[in-house]
Structure 1
Amino acid sequence: MKLNQSVAELRVNKENQYDLFSVQFASGNQGLGSSLAGYTTEGSGGVMIPEWFYSGYHLQGQDFRVDTLLVKDMKTKNDKRLETSVAEGYWDTTEHGFTPEDYAAHYKERCMMIKFLVKDNTNKTIKAWNDYPLNFPILRPADAYLLYAEALINNGKTELATEWIDAIRARAGLASLGHTPTMDDVMYERRCEFIGEGKRYFDLVRMGKGTFISTMKKFSDHYEHVSKMGANNPSEKDLLLPIPLTVMNIHASWTNNPGY
């Protein structure tokens, strides 16, 4: 058995040990596979097809982008969670050697979410781009730990939160926090721990309107969403979805959420 095959199998076999609740997937053309591969391999600069990816992949048109600011910060801090979540480059085909010339022609230096992908192009169980086996976590013990730390800080028991944050860092192979934690520490740990798991938006909403809008604007300004892409500045409207019209028709005295 090849090394990359054994590593792939190890990830699948152990994934439920780290989930309290997750969306379960299985390969084998049973209609039970994950389609996240189609989201993580497409980007604004074209489709990303690493040499280790399922060989029959074709363009799906989705886009699961990676925050390069966070990637740079995690690299600076030598955060080991980065290498299991994001690749900063990939070979685009197996039809090449590994000379400097091949590197220039076939290696793409670009961030790519790999947390839900299997690095094995010989895997015969995976039958399609939407037939990946890795589960999508909804609630992990790490989430419960950090939510508890957040609750402790909000209730004036900040010193008790250290234990729970350090437990997450120790599991990730990182040193203890080394100071009394703040809410910013909790939010940063959540960014690194749950990168690609869809929690960041809800974390910011939970922090309140001021933090939400200022954080989103800083992010938007860095990537020039307004000046170059014609987007709108983040606002209170982005905090909530509209109340459905069917509900508003029943409750005629209600006022819809801001901006709707």
Structure 2
Amino acid sequence: MKKYIYLATSAFLLFAFASCNDELEQIPLSQGTTENFYANQNDFIQARNATYSVAFHGAGTYGYANRVLNLSETRSDNLYATTTASRDWEGINGFFTSISSVSYINEAYTSNYNAIYKANQLLEKIDEKGNEIFTDHLAKASMAAEARFLRAFCYFDLIRWFGKVPLIDRTVTAQEAATIGRSPVADIYNLIISDLELAIPDLSPSYDAANYGRVTKYGAKALLGLVYMTRSSPTYGIDGAMLGLNEWDKAYKQLNDIKTSGLFVFGTDYASIFKVEGNNNKENILTIPYTQNISTPVGGNFMVEVGYQPYFSSVGIDSNQGSLEARPISTEFLAQFDANDKRKAQCIATSYTVASGTYKGSYTLPVFTKYIDPARYGNGREDWGVDFMVIRYTDVLMMMAECTLHGGGGTQADVDAIVNQVRTRAGIAANASNITLDQLFLERRKEFFSEGTRWFDLIRSGKAVTTMNAWRATEDTGKRIQEITNNSLLYPIPLQEILSVPGLYEQNLGYD
């Protein structure tokens, strides 16, 4: 596998870890500040890349990919993640009410706000110095569009996890931040939609290989479509990202623009979707690239989150990739697959053998293997050169089908055709007709497992609480999962933020 090393002078430095640590980190309230720099165009490029880095790769150990596997996949009925050990993810899967200090929750809040600050700062400096620094107006407009997208991306991520959060659309001092409370979700949506609508016209439809990973016009349209779908979902009576609006037609339009662009292709082989990278993978719409480095790990480690060391050893990767406290796939989920479903056969390991070493033996604990590719393993558990697809073309097609079933556009025949296309690729007879929303969500569950979408799909279905409690009744034989309520659909505001300025934030209902 070719190892790509991005240099500070390259057109696109997605992995500018050094620069992203040198800039001001204003919010969350518990974070400190440093000075900025914007003296020339290269400074702007590095600032943009640092914003990407924090928004996608996080401000610490985890990135967006790790986040959705920990907070969405592990929260869902796809995994029965209980253990006799003390692991942060057990409280996530078990719906514990005392999880406000869990590292995964802290990371989701901290990384998003650090990226939002960087985007705010970049936009302000473009306004202040852009005409002086940039000789190319289009380059300046594109950079501002990328900053707006990243701000919208992070705010959307925040409200899906936490509901109401502070709305910061400009750089502020620590003293100012300490006076800003949580804003209504509707106000944050106004900024998200405005940012995306302003960004889309100035974003490129595609990029060359050197700039792969920068958001395109169609990546922004995919996110905007998902924003409209989430706003249209049932509210469950909580202050979450679901507003019960009927904007399925708006979502459908954005998604259909992606389809009619002709730039994306429905992959013919399921397993290959997760093996082919870069511009050669026409399923990629919004992707987070990772690279591996021979000497210094700069890759990703998200596949470790739902992995299992004996499986890694069985495919020749003996360095530590995770403990024996695996997150087993739920029995109920495995039972959903037809016997000949290629998705299960290709991307779930149900039996494997380690020939020698510490883990020598045969194993039958089922694990997700979708993103585990030994050919792209680098130097240690945090150095996998495996890209993570945030939104892929199949997702866009199936989201369009969802909009259609809500009356947003298209026909029942379109829905049936999309589902049959997905099933045909999976090796299942293409005989679907009159597909319902329940059937569509089941097909999505089998299509997108271990991609971090399941929790959000459950919420959009309007049946998250009833589905999860029914699953709990049959799956939770160890009685480790607490009853799920509407309040469980949001995570708690991190305790470190609650304590930073006592009385400024109220904790989400249902949490200690």
AA partner of residue 365 (structure 2): R
Contact 1:87 1:114 in 2 (8 A): yes
Q: Specify the alignment match of 1:164 in structure 2.
A: 418
Q: Specify the alignment match of 1:90 in structure 2.
A: 352
Q: Distance in 2 between matches of 1:185 and 1:135?
A: 29
Q: Give 1:179 deviation, angstroms.
A: 1.7
Q: Specify the alignment match of 1:189 in structure 2.
A: 443
Q: Specify the alignment match of 1:18 in structure 2.
A: 283
Indicate the SS of the match to 1:139: strand
Q: Specify the alignment match of 1:101 in structure 2.
A: none
Alignment of 1:111-130 (within 5 A): 111-119=366-374, 126-130=378-382
Alignment of 1:1-260 (within 5 A): 11-13=275-277, 16-29=281-294, 30-42=296-308, 48-57=311-320, 59-60=322-323, 63-76=326-339, 78-94=340-356, 106-119=361-374, 126-155=378-407, 157-208=411-462, 211-224=463-476, 228-242=478-492, 245=498, 257-260=508-511
Indicate the SS of the match to 1:191: helix
Indicate the SS of the match to 1:50: helix
Per-residue CA deviations over 1:203-228 (Å, capped at 9, x if unaligned) read 011122xx111110122122226xx3
Q: Give 1:58 deviation, angstroms.
A: 5.2
Indicate the SS of the match to 1:25: coil
Indicate the SS of the match to 1:213: helix
149 and 240 in structure 1: CA distance in 2 versus 1, 3 angstrom threshold: same
Indicate the SS of the match to 1:127: coil
173 and 223 in structure 1: CA distance in 2 versus 1, 3 angstrom threshold: closer
The structure whose Rg is larger is 2
Indicate the SS of the match to 1:20: strand
Contact 1:23 1:137 in 2 (8 A): yes
Contact 2:304 2:381 in 1 (8 A): yes
Indicate the SS of the match to 1:163: helix
AA partner of residue 110 (structure 1): L
Per-residue CA deviations over 1:82-128 (Å, capped at 9, x if unaligned) read 12210101112346xxxxxxxxx7211120111111146xx7x6221
AA partner of residue 282 (structure 2): Q
Contact 1:53 1:118 in 2 (8 A): no
Indicate the SS of the match to 2:314: coil
AA partner of residue 92 (structure 1): V
TM-score after normalising by structure 1: 0.74
62 and 202 in structure 1: CA distance in 2 versus 1, 3 angstrom threshold: farther
Indicate the SS of the match to 1:138: strand
Q: Distance in 2 between matches of 1:168 and 1:49?
A: 29
Per-residue CA deviations over 1:162-210 (Å, capped at 9, x if unaligned) read 12222222333332243211001210111011010111100011122xx
142 and 11 in structure 1: CA distance in 2 versus 1, 3 angstrom threshold: same
Q: Distance in 2 between matches of 1:248 and 1:150?
A: 43
Q: Distance in 2 between matches of 1:70 and 1:159?
A: 28
Q: Give 1:11 deviation, angstroms.
A: 2.1
Contact 1:27 1:33 in 2 (8 A): yes
Q: Give 1:153 deviation, angstroms.
A: 0.5
Q: Give 1:16 deviation, angstroms.
A: 3.3
Indicate the SS of the match to 2:386: coil
AA partner of residue 446 (structure 2): C
Q: Give 1:32 deviation, angstroms.
A: 2.7
Indicate the SS of the match to 2:421: helix
Q: Distance in 2 between matches of 1:180 and 1:231?
A: 35
Structure 1 residue runs of 5 or longer lacking an equivalent are: 1-6, 96-104
Q: Distance in 1 between matches of 2:501 and 2:401?
A: 36
Contact 1:68 1:111 in 2 (8 A): no
Indicate the percent of aligned positions where both proteins have the same amino acid: 21
Q: Distance in 2 between matches of 1:33 and 1:129?
A: 9
Contact 1:54 1:126 in 2 (8 A): no
Q: Distance in 2 between matches of 1:33 and 1:62?
A: 24
Q: Give 1:249 deviation, angstroms.
A: 5.4
220 and 84 in structure 1: CA distance in 2 versus 1, 3 angstrom threshold: same
AA partner of residue 212 (structure 1): A
The structure with the largest helix share of the pair is 2
